[in-house]
A and B are shown apart, each in its own frame.
Chain A
Amino acid sequence: MAGEMLQGTLDMLVLKALQVEPMHGWGITERIEQWSNGVLQINQGSLYPALHRLTRQGYITSAWRVTENSRRARYYALTAAGRRALSNEQTSWERLSQAIDLIMRMTPA
């Protein structure tokens, strides 16, 4: 399963990455890789469909800007709805990961 993740997870990670600052698609990829110490490799092709989906759902907006190297790029930013969605996702994710963690730590009696 390395390199792949469930659809909902990718959306959550994208929102998380954008929590800090607006970024272009490439930046999001790099940010997630960097934060996960290179463990999570975004399947780059699924990123853009995810971005458009999130845009349509109203969680993010986008605008064309000029990058630090004077190139045009589309930057994505969280909306208020996106922030709410992120915090909801974060809560439920924590509950889920704790639950899995508990199970995995069980030792045969």
Chain B
Amino acid sequence: MSLMSWFHRARSAGRLATGVISRGDQDAELDDELEFHIAKATERNVRRGMPPDEARRAALAAFGGLAHWTEQTRDEQRSRLLEDFTRDVQYGVSTLRRNPGFAASAVLTIALAIAATTTVFSFINTIYLRPLGVPEGERLVRIYGADRPEFDLQLGYPAYQALRGRVRSFDLVAAHYSTAPLYLTSRNESAEVMGAVVSAEYFPMLGVTPVVGRFFSPDEDAVPDRDAVAVIGHGLWQSRFGGDPGIVGEHVTINARVFTIIGVAPRGFEGVTSGWVNELWIPTMMLRTGYRWCDGFQRTCPITSVMARLAPGASLGSARAEMAVLRQSLLDAADPTDSIRTVAVTPATGVPTWQQLDYARLSTLLAAIAIVLMAVACANLSGLLLARGVARQRELALRCSLGAGRWRLARQLLTESVIVAVLGSAVGLGVSLWTSRALVGFFAADNEGYVHRLVVPLDWRVAAFCAATTIVTVLLFGLMPALRVSRVDPVEALKTGSGSPGRSRIGAAIVAGQMMLSLSLLVAAGLLTRSVAHVMTRGDVDSSHLAQLRLRPRLVGYTAERAQAYLARALESIRRVPGVVDAVPVRGSIVRQATDEVPIALPGEAVATTRTKPEVEYFDIGPRYFATLGVPVLAGREFSERDTPTSPAVAMVNEALAQRLWSTINVVGRTVILGGKSFQVVGVVGNYRAHRSDESPPASAYVAFWQSSFEPQIDARVAIRMQGDPVQLFPPIRRALEAVDVAVPVTETITMNAQRRATYTELRLGGAVLTVGASLALFLSAVGLYGVVSFVVARRAKEVGIRLAVGARPGEVVALFVRQGLWPMWLGATLGLAASIALAPLLSRWLFGIAPVDVPTIVGALVVVVMVALIATYLPANRAARTDPAIVFRAD
């Protein structure tokens, strides 16, 4: 589409928009007048022998853009504000179309900044601030015990009873245990479902209504273990029961007990724990079915949390005041071992408090990156706008001398800036919809294989704030040229034809700052990426043929003896599945965390001494565990089938523990006291598990699974080594286990690769975000540098021409500009290096297998920055050197 016809269309559109009301006779007259002029010119062309249509075209062409000049002519008139605005927008859009490079850079810069900040702060909003997605969610509060301000402890069922009906600021108080693994058997299918054990007030408090049937009545939540009734989630109803409307009254088995379904929760209702999607609810009176480790009705087993809804007219303040009075009776009802000092009441926003702690470090990192990106983008934008302002100095001076007022010029620049900002914001918001989904994808599964669904809706307040920030930046720097031109004598500006050298110095300073941030981010990204590589591949064992699952006979009420017999048979049946190399029982998951810490001592020593750290990481592992993992035993042997409850108690230690206790690894045959019980050391393994770089390898002790006295063997995870892809073997393994005992839940089936990925979600996400952030920052800096060098080159075009004319080779000219253009990069890189080293300690908590100051990473980052800077300076310098000197001189 030619500019001309575009102008025509834009103008027609403008007319339609501004319409009948504002368009005066003046405009019609102007159109008529110009039409008359064109007609006369056409007549003359025809007289000179042109065909009529060509004659008119030629006449229009001679006019040099009819509509454009129409607009200019109208500028000379006083017209109304709205119409001025429409025209400014049209003119602005057309100016931007003539400078696609500037327009694209500016829009892209804003879009990236908006996308990054909106995504990050929407995420943080979801974690900390968003009320639950239920009617009047802002009235809900969480009530928990605290020993430190930021740490929450569940109050438990007795405290809920002590609180119920005692606080007038609450109209409803409910107890809930919302991370209950419920093993559901129905219609010949068994699977673990993330369920919740909730009191009768739960659903009324949340203000939700069932789509089918009803929720729990107070009577059904009155007598322990009497009423086996259940409510199912909408998703489960659809997937497992085909949306059967006659579902009410159906019998299902939950944790080996028969329940009757009484209702279906509405679509989209996921419980009160964001990210943990509940799909099945049973009343608190069935707590002993939902939780089997201790009796949830006792104060020593505080498994339930307490929530409440503020009564109409009540405030958080009034609720806290009333709670202060109840403090002592609540503390008396809470677990005495939990060292609760106060009872806290906080709005039920974001994810639960204990998870907010998990997210704190990640949120900080994300926010920091977003802010850095925003700063880089704003700097870039200001650089772009300043350079452009200088380039337009002449145009503005000319328009000024044509009689355009300062306000008129300012308004024009303002409009252009706003167009850029609005376009960029729109693109950025679109991108952030996608990036939010990508971000949430990192949390889709945890390291036990549980599915999580974290909903991160775009937070419009955040988006508006970010958009406002960029618009202010754009306005500030976009207007500068107009303010400048009003201070400058137009004649001077026209004469010299270029801006002051000061502008390029500001531009260079901006570029140096950007390069500094880019290099720092790049170094951090490199460190985290290498940490991820370390924990995913080199730092631990080869995990591609390993998987893990969990057998939970305790969940269905098996006694210790029955469970142990079952476990032995289950392990045997797994080993017989074709493709399985070995299956070994283990308490805790394979990757990273220890399940327990136990007091450790040497014979004749008190448990806590100054010579030894009193506690040590502790693992129960089965026979051939290290062979299964592929970890070599450094000395002695590992556990075998002969290590039974009746044989002598044996233990293994890792290198770190051996060194700490005895300063040698030749420790086979020595005795160690774990948790007050004597074990003979039979073997030593290396420090094979990944650990943070700022910590020494953890000291670990291993006890034979069947000899463990810390917990009877009624619940176990099984580590399985197999040939080929572990996922392929899950179905036959499950079938084999069903053949042993169909009633026992088989859960948390996960490949070790998946377990590893989920264990290091935070690290992987941090690495990915830093890498993206560093790339964006570097890209933006390169754009900035390119702009500055282009500007310098343009300003010195005449000098280049002279140099070339007197015989300089183009290569020499390129080298000159590249040398001069690179100094802001060197300055920025030097500052960036200093910043990287200074800030390195902040990263140490994230690093595995790499030091915070890592020379190869720094050198690598430096090389990338230098290469990018070279390209960004070479391109404009080269272009200048290849121009014909004659053209440069003619241009003036």
- 8 Å CB contacts to B: which residues of A7-51? 7, 24-26, 29, 43-46, 48-49
A49 touches B33 (CB 8 A): no
Instruction: Write out the residue numbers on chain B whose beta carbons fall within 8 Å of the beta carbon of A46.
Output: 69
Q: Is B37 an interface residue (CB 8 A)?
A: yes
Q: How far is the CA of A104 from the CA of B64 in the complex (A)?
A: 34
- 8 Å CB contacts to A: which residues of B367-416? 401-403
- State the Cβ distance, A48 to closest chain B Cβ, in Å: 4
Please name the residue on chain B nearest to A45 by beta carbon. Answer: B69
Q: Is B203 an interface residue (CB 8 A)?
A: no
B73 touches A52 (CB 8 A): yes
B73 touches A7 (CB 8 A): no
Number of A residues with CB within 8 Å of any CB on chain B = 19
Instruction: Write out the residue numbers on chain B whose beta carbons fall within 8 Å of the beta carbon of A71.
Output: 36, 39
Q: Is A83 an interface residue (CB 8 A)?
A: no
Task: Knowing A7-B401, A56-B76, say if A44 contacts B33 (CB, 8 Å).
Answer: no
Q: Is B63 an interface residue (CB 8 A)?
A: yes
B41 touches A48 (CB 8 A): no
B72 touches A44 (CB 8 A): no
B63 touches A52 (CB 8 A): no
A48 touches B73 (CB 8 A): yes
- State the Cβ distance, B395 to closest chain A Cβ, in Å: 14
B65 touches A45 (CB 8 A): yes
Q: How far is the CA of A71 from the CA of B75 in the complex (A)?
A: 27
B64 touches A49 (CB 8 A): no
- State the Cβ distance, A10 to closest chain B Cβ, in Å: 11
B37's partner among A7, A26, A53, A64 (CB-CB below 8 A) is A26
- State the Cβ distance, B26 to closest chain A Cβ, in Å: 10
Q: How far is the CA of A108 from the CA of B67 in the complex (A)?
A: 51
Instruction: Write out the residue numbers on chain A whose beta carbons fall within 8 Å of the beta carbon of B76.
Output: 49, 52-53, 56
Task: Knowing A43-B64, A45-B65, A52-B77, say if A24 contacts B403 (CB, 8 Å).
Answer: no
Q: Is B839 an interface residue (CB 8 A)?
A: no
For chains A and B in complex, what number of residue pairs have CB atoms within 8 angstroms?
A: 57
Please name the residue on chain B nearest to A8 by beta carbon. Answer: B401
Q: How far is the CA of A45 from the CA of B76 in the complex (A)?
A: 13
0/1 string, A49-87, CB within 8 A of B gives 1? 100110010000000100000011110000000000000
Q: Is B799 an interface residue (CB 8 A)?
A: no
Q: Is B327 an interface residue (CB 8 A)?
A: no
Task: Knowing A45-B63, A52-B76, say if A26 contacts B34 (CB, 8 Å).
Answer: no
Please name the residue on chain A nearest to B66 by beta carbon. Answer: A45
0/1 string, B46-86, CB within 8 A of A gives 1? 00000000000000001111101110110111000000000
Task: Knowing A44-B63, A45-B65, say if A26 contacts B40 (CB, 8 Å).
Answer: yes
B33 touches A25 (CB 8 A): yes
Instruction: Write out the residue numbers on chain B whose beta carbons fall within 8 Å of the beta carbon of A48.
Output: 30, 33-34, 37, 69-70, 73
Instruction: Write out the residue numbers on chain B whose beta carbons fall within 8 Å of the beta carbon of A7.
Output: 401-402
Q: How far is the CA of A4 from the CA of B62 in the complex (A)?
A: 13
B33's partner among A29, A43, A56, A73 (CB-CB below 8 A) is A73
A25 touches B77 (CB 8 A): no
A26 touches B65 (CB 8 A): no
Please name the residue on chain A nearest to B70 by beta carbon. Answer: A48
Q: Is B32 an interface residue (CB 8 A)?
A: yes
B36 touches A26 (CB 8 A): yes
- State the Cβ distance, B857 to closest chain A Cβ, in Å: 59
Most buried by A among B36, B37, B66: B37
- State the Cβ distance, B300 to closest chain A Cβ, in Å: 90
- State the Cβ distance, A65 to closest chain B Cβ, in Å: 11
Instruction: Write out the residue numbers on chain B whose beta carbons fall within 8 Å of the beta carbon of A24.
Output: 33, 36-37
Q: Is B641 an interface residue (CB 8 A)?
A: no
A49 touches B40 (CB 8 A): no
Q: How far is the CA of A72 from the CA of B75 in the complex (A)?
A: 24
Q: Is B219 an interface residue (CB 8 A)?
A: no
Instruction: Write out the residue numbers on chain B whose beta carbons fall within 8 Å of the beta carbon of A73.
Output: 33, 36
Please name the residue on chain A nearest to B59 by beta carbon. Answer: A44
B62 touches A49 (CB 8 A): no
Q: Is B244 an interface residue (CB 8 A)?
A: no
Q: How far is the CA of A30 from the CA of B739 in the complex (A)?
A: 105
Task: Knowing A72-B36, A74-B33, say if A45 contacts B41 (CB, 8 Å).
Answer: no
Given A44-B63, A45-B65, A48-B69, 19 other A-B contacts at CB below 8 A? A24-B36, A25-B33, A25-B36, A26-B36, A26-B37, A26-B40, A26-B41, A44-B37, A44-B41, A44-B62, A44-B64, A45-B66, A48-B30, A48-B37, A48-B70, A49-B402, A53-B403, A72-B36, A74-B32
A and B contact pairs by CB, cutoff 8 A, 21 listed = A7-B401, A24-B33, A24-B36, A26-B41, A44-B37, A44-B41, A45-B63, A45-B65, A46-B69, A48-B30, A48-B34, A48-B70, A49-B69, A49-B73, A49-B76, A49-B402, A52-B76, A52-B77, A53-B76, A53-B403, A72-B36
**Nearest 10 A-B pairs (CB), nearest first?**
A45-B69, A26-B40, A52-B76, A48-B73, A45-B64, A74-B33, A26-B37, A73-B36, A49-B73, A44-B63
